[in-house]
């Protein structure tokens, strides 16, 4: 698909083969996660298999368009197209309790988000925009939902919105930002009246009040307001 091709051009699409002796009980022979057994993974896994499993799960859960390539049938399984399983992947990360793994996942997610945000096809390709929204949702889960900030040096969200307004990429950026902020209700830190969250939402409100803003973007902002439990009329304008 076009969005996978875009990422592969930036070397963001490695193929990882899981050795048979490192497959955890949560991975079936097809490369899919076996949902009923996902919580049976033992924390007492020996060092060698734990390391192999950590590497495998990093490739599978990092949401960086990485695939499992299983030796038996050479089938690929794209994580980027499975947003409904994000909560399960997040549980697995918690179970592994590996800080290095978490850093690798965050790095991969940010890397691929930046690739898509700068893609020349992002305005015309609905598949790339859909993938970007999935990445936004995952980024929110591995940062804000865990009470961790998205650092400006990694991704300046306000600058991203302002630049999108100037370059005509709001159609991609607004849904992406909204999906990131969707994780706020799961956070003890990043909920209104958190200044960073409210600053971003105020900036989105600026856009909401633009007369010719596309209706689907207005809808994204309205849904986000309900998610954050704030009233659009109560939010002051940001100084852009």
Q: Is the pLDDT of residue 218 over 80?
A: yes
pLDDT of residue 130: 93
For residue 125, is pLDDT > 90?
A: yes
Please check whether residue 171 is in contact with residue 117, taking contact to mean a CB–CB distance below 8 angstroms. no
Query: In this predicted structure, what is the pLDDT of residue 6?
Result: 58
Instruction: Answer whether 69's CB lies under 8 Å from 25's CB.
Output: no
Instruction: Give the percent of the chain with pLDDT over 70.
Output: 63
Q: What is the pLDDT of residue 93?
A: 83
pLDDT at 61: 46
pLDDT in tens, 80-112: 667 888 888 888 888 888 888 889 889 989 999
Q: Is the peptide bond before 77 cis (omega within 30 degrees of 0)?
A: no
- Look over the chain and give the mean of its residue pLDDT values, rounded to a whole number: 76
Q: pTM value? A: 0.73
pLDDT digits (tens, 9 = 90+) for 130-172: 999 999 999 999 999 999 999 999 999 999 999 999 999 999 9
What single string gives the DSSP state of each residue in the chain? -HHHHHHHTTT---EEPPPGGG--TTB-TTS-B-GGGGGG--TT--HHHHHHHHHHHHHHHS-SS-EEE-TTT--EEEGGG-GGGHHHHHHHHHHHT-HHHHHHHHHHHHHHHHHHHT-TTTTT-HHHHHHHHHHHHHHHHHTGGGT----TTT--HHHHHHHHHHHT-HHHHHHHHHHHHTTGGG-SSSSTT-HHHHHHHHHHHHHHT-TT--HHHHHHHHHHHHHHT--GGGSPPP--
């Amino acid at each position: 698909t076009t969005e996978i091709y875009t990422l592969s051009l930036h070397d963001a699409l490695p193929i990882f083969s899981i050795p048979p002796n490192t497959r955890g009980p949560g991975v079936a022979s097809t490369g899919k996660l076996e949902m009923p057994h996902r919580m049976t993974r033992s924390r007492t896994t020996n060092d060698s298999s734990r390391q192999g499993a950590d590497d495998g799960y990093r490739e599978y859960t990092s949401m960086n368009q990485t695939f499992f390539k299983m030796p038996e049938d050479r089938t690929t399984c794209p994580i980027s197209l499975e947003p409904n399983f994000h909560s399960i992947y997040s549980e697995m990360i918690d179970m592994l309790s590996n800080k290095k793994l978490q850093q690798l996942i965050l790095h991969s997610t940010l890397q691929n988000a930046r690739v898509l945000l700068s893609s020349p096809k992002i305005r015309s390709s609905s598949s790339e925009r859909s993938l970007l929204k999935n990445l936004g949702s995952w980024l929110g889960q591995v940062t804000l939902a865990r009470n961790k900030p998205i650092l400006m040096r990694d991704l300046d969200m306000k600058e991203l919105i302002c630049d999108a307004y100037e370059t005509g990429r709001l159609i991609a950026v607004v849904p992406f930002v909204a999906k990131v902020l969707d994780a706020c209700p799961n956070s003890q830190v990043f909920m209104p009246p958190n200044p960073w969250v409210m600053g971003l939402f105020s900036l989105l409100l600026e856009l909401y009040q633009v007369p010719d803003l596309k209706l689907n973007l207005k809808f994204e902002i309205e849904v986000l307001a309900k998610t954050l439990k704030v009233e659009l009329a109560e939010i002051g304008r940001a100084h852009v």
